Amino acid sequence: MAAVLPDWLSPQEFSTAIDEMANAIGQQWVIHDGDPKLRSYRDSFSTLPGDANVPSAVVAPDGIEEIQAILKIANEHRVPLWPISTGRNFAYGGPAPRMPGYVVLDLKRMNRILEVNEEYAYALVEPGVSYFQLYEYLQKNNIKLWIDPAAPGWGGIVGNTLEHGVGYTPYGDHFMMHCGMEVVLPDGTLFRTGQGSLPETESWQVFQYGFGPILDGVFSQSNFGIVTKMGMWLMPEPPGYMPFLITYENEEDLAIITEVVRPLKVNMVIPNGAFTVDLLWDAAVKVSKRQYYSGKGPIPDSARKKIMSDYKLGQWNFYAALYGPPPMMENTMQVIRDTLGAIPGARVWTAEERKHDAAFQYRSKLMRGEPNMTEFGLMNWVGGGGHINFSPISPTTGEDAMRQYEMIKNRSHEYGFDYIGEFAVGWRDMHHVYMLMFDRTDDEERQRAHELFGVLIDEAAAAGYGEYRTHLAFMDQVAKTYSWNDHALWKLHERLKDAFDPNGILAPGKQGIWPAHMREKHSWTS
């Protein structure tokens, strides 16, 4: 299979560049020339056709010098590079680049845990460190610190944090909890953010801001630099832990749940990343759709009722946890029972009552920082592997929650898909994640899912809701919705792009930010 190349690169120039890169880092860490191994860098779950977004090559450096050597060659030949860390960004593109033919810069080999400081409770890691790896390390060395993983434990600290990922412990806002980065710019410049720029510092991982502008954010969800180290605060293991579930009987309860949760979150009565989870998201980990419904289209209400009673679930299922000395947790739990537990039809469940429930178990692990893969069970709901996440943000109000829920559910039913969703409740906002699940072996269904996703973006934007991250295929469309003052923000991103990366070699089109030489074809800002 001949590789697709970026349209400005001739096969000769491309192959010269790849040879030079192979010389710099060793032939065994370069994949190219239509090698079938390239296919392991696809997104095999997306709404795009089979082999969309296959890279033309992969280079896997180990160390700053090798990255700098690759950047130099890429600048000379204008080869587009797509950096990945652990490369598990599934539901949003997996390891795949924004466009076919880019060269993936795979940083997975750089997987050293550089420091774990028990006293100050932080870790300093390279990009290839996965949640499982850091967890195992802490366990083996009996270090009483918790990590905060995303639901899939094979993802990693650097990649997930750069994408503004979320977790389930009180440290669930990953970007907020990171402290200090080391970055290589496209021209090879190496620097550290925050206190890290003071040569004698011992404070790189204890103070986020340093002196002068805070640049860390510029390197998240962007294509301005390659992050090569990151500090992450870790939560000290608390003296007690109390996860719980509250089930609710009616769809409309979402409004009151959200209203009651808001003050509990803003006042930090509930300290962790709490989730209001719809029936099917919870059930799909345990049962397949076929066990309850063999027809086409969304599962009917009668079957939903049956699942609710078979598995003792609610239309909505609220998960959170308490931490600390037992007397404190018990007092707080009483507050929870008197508020969230007092909503008519609510039932509060303890860990003991749910100890044989796989969904409760994996959430209970996530809320105490124990990585796992159980949520992948969602993929077994319809089978066929397809999934892509639609993730709009809203304020934590009952009205907004219902409005988003109705909007997405109705559209999703209209297009013949189940609504499978959850609301991650932050301090003041909610990340509403709708997992659009489809059978990827059915072309018509895949295309229908793609169309639905596009409709949802525009409809949400019209109602004032923007996505917090999105799949590769929809980055331009989402970026376009952030259009205040004639796309002023994206125009600024383009100016930064030109300053940091004048040859436009790093992740062109990431988050809808295109370099000058591709702007005419792709950008909408001018």
Ligand X SMILES: Cc1cc2nc3c(=O)[nH]c(=O)nc-3n(C[C@H](O)[C@H](O)[C@H](O)COP(=O)(O)OP(=O)(O)OC[C@H]3O[C@@H](n4cnc5c(N)ncnc54)[C@H](O)[C@@H]3O)c2cc1C
Residues that bind ligand X (CB under 6 A): 83-92, 107, 127, 150-152, 155-156, 158-160, 162-163, 165-166, 226-227, 375-376, 378, 387, 507, 510
Q: Which residues of 137-176 are buried (b: 16+ CB within 10 A; e: fewer)?
A: bbeeeebebbbbbbbbbbbbbbbbbbbbbbbbbbbbbbbe
92 is catalytic: yes
CB of 218 to other proteins, least distance (A): 27
Contacted by 139, from ligand HEC, ligand X, other proteins, none: CB < 5 to 8 Å by type: none
* CB 469, CB 163: distance < 8 Å: yes
Q: What character string, x for contact with other proteins (CB under 8 A) and - otherwise, covers 256-295?
A: -----------------------------xx-x-------
Contact 401, 355 (CB under 8 A): no
The minimum distance between CB 247 and other proteins, in angstroms, equals 19
Q: Which does 40 bind (CB under 5 to 8 A by kind): other proteins, ligand HEC, ligand X, none?
A: other proteins
Binding mask 319-338 for other proteins (x = CB under 8 A): -----xx-------------
For 61, other C-beta atoms within 10 Å of its C-beta total 24
Cβ–Cβ contacts within 10 Å for residue 2, how many? 8
Q: Which does 384 bind (CB under 5 to 8 A by kind): other proteins, ligand X, ligand HEC, none?
A: other proteins
Count residues contacting other proteins (CB under 8 A)? 65
AA letter at 352:
E
Q: Residue 524 binds which entry of ligand HEC, ligand X, other proteins, none, with Cβ cut-offs from 5 to 8 Å by kind?
A: none
The reply to whether 373 sits near ligand HEC by the rule CB under 6 A is yes
Beta strand 30-31 pairing with 57-59: antiparallel
The verdict on 376 binding ligand HEC (CB under 6 A) reads yes
Lay out the site mask for other proteins across 89-118 (x = CB under 8 A, - = otherwise): -x---xx----------x-xx-xxxxxxxx
Task: Tell me the C-alpha distance between 511 and 526, whole Å.
Answer: 17
Q: Per CB under 6 A, does 358 bind ligand HEC?
A: no
Instruction: Count CA within 13 A, CB hemisphere, residue 156.
Output: 29
The residues pairing with 229 across neighbouring beta strands, listed in sequence order, are 182
268 close to 168: Cβ distance less than 8 angstroms: no
Q: Where are the alpha helices (DSSP H) in 163-210?
A: 174-177
Is 468 a known active-site residue? yes
Alpha helix (H) residue ranges in 163-316: 174-177, 253-266, 279-284, 301-311
**C-beta of residue 417 within 8 angstroms of C-beta of residue 438:** yes
CA distance 167 to 157: 11
CB distance 393 to 481 below 8 Å: no
Please confirm, yes or no, whether 78 is among the known catalytic residues: no
How many CA within 13 A on the CB side of residue 295? 7
Indicate which of ligand X, ligand HEC, other proteins, none lies near residue 134 (CB less than 5 to 8 Å, by partner kind).
Answer: none
* Residue ranges that bind other proteins, judged by CB under 8 A: 29, 31, 37, 39-41, 44-45, 58, 60, 87-88, 90, 94-95, 106, 108-109, 111-119, 128, 130, 132-133, 136-137, 140-141, 143-144, 152-154, 236-239, 285-286, 288, 324-325, 358, 361-362, 371-377, 379-380, 383-385, 441
